[in-house]
Structure 1
Amino acid sequence: MDPVSVSALVTLLSKIFDGTTGKVGEQLWDNLTSVVRRAFGRRSTSVEAAKRLGERPGDADSIRSLAEALVADSARDPQGAVQVRHWVARAERELVDAGSISSTIPGDVHRNVVQARDIHGDITF
């Protein structure tokens, strides 16, 4: 599994707090806070950052602080990093399944376009 980036975490956390994810977002947030406590301990930078974000839901600075703390804690703790990566994978799947992540192609399209989720094999036009 690849390491998780700050930008990927910011994107996921922003989506969870943007008001469009409803119950799925609430469940993912609850799950993340549990993962963080379990993976890094109650006194970690990530736990403190998660607490601040919980107090200020959707705050962009708090989202970025949590993302940075998760990446830093993951770099120090490989087992914790695995748990965070599993959470990210689950969050991405659930947000896609809930229709909370989508792609839009602006303007008129005059070429071939493919929008897909899981592709196993070639695509030919």
Structure 2
Amino acid sequence: MDPISAGLLVALVSGAGGAAGTQAWAALSRLVRRPFRRADRARPEEPAPGIRELEELEGIPQDTGRAQALADVLRRRAAHDPDFARSLTAWLDEASAAPTEAGDVHNTVSGGSQGNLLQARDLHGPVTFGTPPAPDAAAGERAD
């Protein structure tokens, strides 16, 4: 499972991304509040891991430390609950695609190096990789 970005959590809980961001946060809240299904759980009445961290981040939405604490708990919970891990991965794929600010672009690159990579939103002008383009022939000529 890809790591969950504290920045993404802060953006979503802060209401960035409009309706899509709000829906993504609500979906995560429902997911975290689902019962913990770990087979060897000692006390069935204990709250599911992550609820406290989720509520603390909701109380102070800009706190990246709280966001990182939530991300860490979610990662550990996913390691012990395969159903939660599958649902969290699906949520992360969907939430990562949601804009967190007007016009933001979020790209994910994984795996080995495949060559050149450019991640950008708006490009104005030429982009080259490797050898620079040949100079314009007309620019090198002098008018007599």
Scaled by the length of structure 1, the TM-score of the pair is: 0.68
Q: Tell me what 2:87 maps to.
A: 83
**1:52-111, Cα deviation, whole Å (9 max, x unpaired):** 111111211111010000001101111111111111011122338x743353589x7551
Task: Check conservation: 1:39, 1:80, Cα contact below 8 A.
Answer: no
Q: Which has the larger radius of gyration?
A: 2
Q: Tell me what 1:28 maps to.
A: 24
Task: Check conservation: 1:37, 1:47, Cα contact below 8 A.
Answer: yes
User: Which one of 3, 9, 21 corresponds to residue 13 of structure 1?
Assistant: 9
C-alpha separation in 2, matches of 1:24 and 1:34: 15
Matched, 1:70 2:74: yes
Shift of 1:18: 5.5
C-alpha separation in 1, matches of 2:14 and 2:55: 18
Matched length: 107
Aligned to 1:63, what secondary structure does the other structure show? Answer: helix
Note the residue ranges of structure 2 that are not aligned, 5 or more in a row. 38-45, 107-119, 130-144
C-alpha separation in 2, matches of 1:34 and 1:20: 19
Task: Check conservation: 1:15, 1:100, Cα contact below 8 A.
Answer: no
Which one has a larger percent helix, Structure 1 or Structure 2? 1
Q: Give % identity.
A: 25
Note the residue ranges of structure 1 that are not aligned, 5 or more in a row. 113-125
Q: Could you tell which deviates more after superposition, 35-44 or 71-80? A: 35-44
Q: CA RMSD in A?
A: 2.9
Aligned to 1:95, what secondary structure does the other structure show? Answer: coil
Amino acid in the other structure paired with 1:83: S
